[in-house]
Amino acid sequence: MKVLVVGGGGREHALAWKLRQSPRVSQLYCAPGNAGIAEIAELVPLRADDIAGLLRFARQNAIDLTVVGPELPLTLGIVDEFARHNLRIFGPDKQAAELEGSKAFAKELLRRCKIPTGYFSSFGDPDEAKQYLSEVGAPIVVKADGLAAGKGVMICETVREAEQAVDEIMRGRLFGDAGNRIVIEEFLEGEEASFMALVDGATALPLASSQDHKPAYDGDQGPNTGGMGTYSPAPVLTNAVYERVMSEILRPLLRGLQERKINYRGVLYAGLMIDRGRPKVLEFNCRFGDPECQVLMMRMRSDLVTVLEATIDGRLDQATIDWDPRAAACVVLTAAGYPGNYEKGSEIRGLDAAAKREASGNVAVFHAATAKRDGSFVTDGGRVLGVTALGGDIGDAVAEAYRTVEMIEWEGMHYRHDIGHRAVSSESATARGR
């Protein structure tokens, strides 16, 4: 079968890498892709938000399955357009993707479905937002309502910081139109985790647990990013917490969506805050997380095509996923200055040496923003590479990933040195207690 992957980041490289392993895939395309994806798929020079162009390509090339990676084309209605032309596509339609497209919509749905989350209010007027801040105080969280590539969340320790965040988002247009409205919500304490499930409208098939690291610097310091690294499984998602997520969050949400005639089919990603075993929803995403997708694809033993088609066809009640019992960890390498201003075009050295480690099957270097220049790989964005590895436990996986990271360099390369620190500490404490 012919498969088209839409997108060009690390998530899409991981999806393409996994799809390429399926014996059912004869031809693999990616639009627009990147220099790393070009090693395993034919690149199509179309932007991920060029819905008309992607539809035309899929029709002209008889694409059997399209897999959408990023959120923007989903919120623009790519699934609706493909479905109108009887083309099979994986992802939620435009109405369902509003769960990520508008944080205010998602929070209101949570409230109506009585799903645990922090208190909140949304505003289209900055002065009204500041009045609310004077009433609720700080610490507090200020979010752009729309899509901001995972960077539209500002955690504010004081009311003054929060007021500045309101001005930067709404008056300074830090996130463009995404900040036309904002959501101000309770600052929740605890440990974050990513809970993703495939959903076919009626049935949810949870994926392996994972945990992301959003802040740019060690010790969870600095501005939020699209993700600096991740690991799977996440020890904080114990069996008891898993049952609470299913009973208190996922099943009530599916019922609420069905009552509103929203047929959600695709990946449903709940960003959770877990405090003393009690999960609360921070936000929803309508696609695979990135870099979480990279560790999940490393651990997934099942044929990805089979489970994606079961989602599209409403057959998840008959589906299972086989996971590698080993742990996986991903360390993201970025350009200096990310998530702020950064330069492109720096030559990446050491990928050949890293490729020798990849040959073991326990390491994969996923390209997130690379290009080719004079035969060499160069940086082409903020998050550049995701070095992902398997190990007997999270500590082993993290160590293997960092051993590979040490082989790679470019001018200004930045990465966190403490990926997996909570989980590794938990593993050490468990070992001491035996």
CATH number of the domain that residue 152 is part of: 3.30.1490.20
Collapsed DSSP state (helix, strand, coil) of residue 420: coil
Q: Do 383 and 260 share a structural domain?
A: yes
Peptide bond into 252 cis (omega under 30): no
Q: What is the pTM of this model?
A: 0.92
Q: Do 134 and 87 share a structural domain?
A: no
Give which of 36, 32, 29 is closest to 47, Cα–Cα.
32
Q: How far apart are CA 419 and CA 212, in angstroms?
A: 9
Q: Do 330 and 313 share a structural domain?
A: yes
Residue numbers of the domain that contains 130 = 119-186
Angle at 373 between CA 369 and CA 377, to 5 degrees: 45
Q: How far apart are CA 141 and CA 278, in angstroms?
A: 20
Written as six digits, the tokens of 35 are: 């220099």
Residue 395 falls within a domain, yes or no?
yes
Residue 106 falls within a domain, yes or no?
no
Gyration radius (Cα) of the chain, Å: 21
Decide which of 186, 220, 240 is a domain's last residue: 186
Q: Do 171 and 206 share a structural domain?
A: no
Q: Do 288 and 170 share a structural domain?
A: no
Written as six digits, the tokens of 345 are: 């075009």
- Asked if residues 16 and 5 have their Cβ atoms less than 8 Å apart, the reply is yes
Q: Which amino acid is at 35?
A: A
- Asked if residues 124 and 172 have their Cβ atoms less than 8 Å apart, the reply is no
Q: Do 17 and 137 share a structural domain?
A: no
How buried is 52 (Cβ within 10 angstroms: 0-12 exposed, 13-18 middle, 19+ buried)? exposed
The domain total for the chain is 3
Q: Which long-range contacts (CB under 8 A, 24 or more apart) does 154-160 make?
A: 154/224, 155/187, 155/224, 159/133, 159/134
Q: Do 82 and 215 share a structural domain?
A: no
Collapsed DSSP state (helix, strand, coil) of residue 355: helix
Q: Do 199 and 166 share a structural domain?
A: no
Q: Do 213 and 177 share a structural domain?
A: no
Q: Do 375 and 283 share a structural domain?
A: yes
Helix-then-strand count for the chain, H and E: 15, 22
Q: Do 69 and 180 share a structural domain?
A: no
Residue 47 falls within a domain, yes or no?
yes
Written as six digits, the tokens of 283 are: 């936000």
Per-residue pLDDT of the chain (434 residues; tens, 9 = 90+): 999 999 999 999 999 999 999 999 999 999 999 999 999 999 999 999 999 999 999 999 999 999 999 999 999 999 999 999 999 999 999 999 999 988 889 999 999 999 999 999 999 999 999 999 999 999 999 999 888 776 788 899 999 999 999 999 999 998 999 899 999 999 999 998 999 999 999 999 999 999 999 999 999 999 889 899 999 999 999 999 999 999 999 999 999 999 999 999 999 999 999 999 999 999 999 999 999 999 999 999 999 999 999 999 999 999 999 999 999 999 999 999 999 999 999 999 999 999 999 988 899 999 999 999 999 999 999 999 999 999 999 999 999 999 999 999 999 999 999 999 888 766 544 433 33
